[in-house]
Amino acid sequence: MISWAVGPRWCAPSSRLTKARSRKERTVMCRRTTKSVRMRMRGPTEARVQKGSRTVMRRWLAVLFAVALLASPVAFAGGSERIGELLEKAEGVRSSDALAFRRLLREANEARADASETQREQLDYLNAYSLTTGGRFPEAIAAAKSLLATTTDKNLRVRASALLVNSYGATRQFAEGLRQLERTLAWLPESDDPRMRVHAMVSASILYNLIGQYEHGLDYATRLQKLALSPREKCFARYTEAEARFFLGKSTDSADIATVVDFCASIREAILSNLGRQLLARQLADNGQRKKAIALLKNHLADVEATRYPRLIGETHALLAQYMLEEESLVSAEEHAKAAIAHSTDIAYSQPLVMAYHTLYELAQRAGDARAALDYFRKYAEADKAYLNEVKARELAYQIVRQETLQKSQQISVLDQENQVLQLQRKVDQQAAQNTRLIVILLVLLVASIGYWAFKIKRVQLSLKKMAETDALTGICNRHHFTIRAERALAECARNGEQAALIMYDLDHFKNINDRFGHGTGDWALKEVAEASKGFCRRIDVLGRLGGEEFAILMYGCDLRAAARVAEDCRVRLAQIDTRETGHVFAITGSFGVTSSVQSGYSLARLLSHADRQLYRAKHLGRNRVCVYENESEAVRAASNVLELPQRERSEHLGA
Residue 49 above 60 pLDDT? no
Helices (H), 535-628: 560-575, 597-600, 604-620
C-alpha–C-alpha distance, residues 482 and 542, integer Å = 7
Candidates 592, 593, 574; CA nearest to 513 is 574
Least confident of 52-56, 432-436, 548-552: 52-56
Cβ neighbours for 379, distance < 8 A, ≥ 6 positions apart: 357
| Predicted pLDDT of residue 68 | 36
Backbone dihedral region for residue 221 (phi beyond 0: left; psi -120 to 50: alpha; all else: beta): alpha
| Predicted pLDDT of residue 29 | 54
Give the rounded percent of residues in the chain with a pLDDT score beyond 70: 82
**Sign of the alpha-carbon dihedral angle for 10, 11, 12, 17:** negative
How far separated are the first and last CA of the chain, in Å rounded?
134
**Angle, CA of 562, 566 and 567, to the nearest 5°:** 115
Residue 304 above 80 pLDDT? yes
Q: Are 556 and 543 in contact (CB under 8 A)?
A: no
Q: What is the average per-residue pLDDT within 273-285?
A: 87
Confidence of residue 628 (pLDDT cuts 50, 70, 90): very high
| Predicted pLDDT of residue 576 | 94
> How, if at all, do strands 9-11 and 4-6 pair?
antiparallel
Confidence of residue 252 (pLDDT cuts 50, 70, 90): low
More confident residue, 553 or 398: 553
Confidence of residue 620 (pLDDT cuts 50, 70, 90): very high
Q: Are 248 and 71 in contact (CB under 8 A)?
A: no
How many angstroms separate the Cα of 562 from the Cα of each of 27, 235, 411, 499, 567?
134, 86, 80, 11, 9
| Predicted pLDDT of residue 493 | 95
| Predicted pLDDT of residue 80 | 73
DSSP letter string over 46-102? HHHHHHHHHHHHHHHHHHHHHHHHHHSHHHHHHHHHHHHHHHHHHHHHTTT-HHHHH
Confidence of residue 638 (pLDDT cuts 50, 70, 90): very low
| Predicted pLDDT of residue 25 | 55
| Predicted pLDDT of residue 85 | 87
For residue 593, list its beta bridge partners: 504, 627
Residue 23 above 60 pLDDT? no
Q: Are 74 and 249 in contact (CB under 8 A)?
A: no
Q: Are 312 and 274 in contact (CB under 8 A)?
A: yes
Residue 199 above 50 pLDDT? yes
Helix/strand/coil for 329: coil
* Strand residue runs (E) in 434-527: 500-507
> How, if at all, do strands 626-628 and 590-596 pair?
parallel
Q: Could you read off the pLDDT of 136-177 as tens digits, one per residue? A: 888 989 998 998 889 888 888 888 888 888 888 877 788 888
More confident residue, 229 or 603: 603
Q: Are 502 and 562 in contact (CB under 8 A)?
A: no
DSSP 8-state symbol, 642: P
Q: Could you read off the pLDDT of 547-595 as tens digits, one per residue? A: 999 999 999 999 999 999 999 999 999 999 999 999 999 999 999 999 9
| Predicted pLDDT of residue 282 | 87
| Predicted pLDDT of residue 111 | 86
C-alpha–C-alpha distance, residues 176 and 272, integer Å = 24
| Predicted pLDDT of residue 172 | 76
Candidates 384, 339, 332, 335; CA nearest to 358 is 384
C-alpha–C-alpha distance, residues 565 and 544, integer Å = 19
Q: What is the average per-residue pLDDT within 7-33?
A: 46
Look up residue 421 and give its amino acid: V
More confident residue, 26 or 43: 26
Least confident of 396-400, 485-489, 650-654: 650-654
Q: Could you read off the pLDDT of 452-486 as tens digits, one per residue? A: 898 888 888 877 877 788 999 999 999 999 999 99
C-alpha–C-alpha distance, residues 229 and 238, integer Å = 11
Helix/strand/coil for 230: coil
C-alpha–C-alpha distance, residues 523 and 475, integer Å = 12
| Predicted pLDDT of residue 9 | 37
More confident residue, 68 or 108: 108
Helix/strand/coil for 514: helix
Residue 60 above 60 pLDDT? no
Q: What is the mean pLDDT of the chain?
A: 80
Q: Are 513 and 583 in contact (CB under 8 A)?
A: no
Residue 512 above 80 pLDDT? yes
> Phi and psi at residue 501, in whole multiples of 5°?
-130, 155
Instruction: Encode 126-158: b = buried (16+ Cβ within 10 Å), e = exposed.
Output: bbbbbbbbebbbebbbebbbebbeebebebbbb
DSSP letter string over 271-319? HHHHHHHHHHHHHHHHTT-HHHHHHHHHHTHHHHHHTT-HHHHHHHHHH
Candidates 191, 184, 228; CA nearest to 205 is 184
Helix/strand/coil for 10: strand
C-alpha–C-alpha distance, residues 71 and 160, integer Å = 33
pTM, two decimals, is 0.45
More confident residue, 76 or 403: 403
Q: Residue 104's Cα: distance from chain center in Å?
A: 34
DSSP letter string over 94-139? TTT-HHHHHHHHHHHHHTGGG--HHHHHHHHHHHHHHHHHTT-HHH
Cβ neighbours for 66, distance < 8 A, ≥ 6 positions apart: none
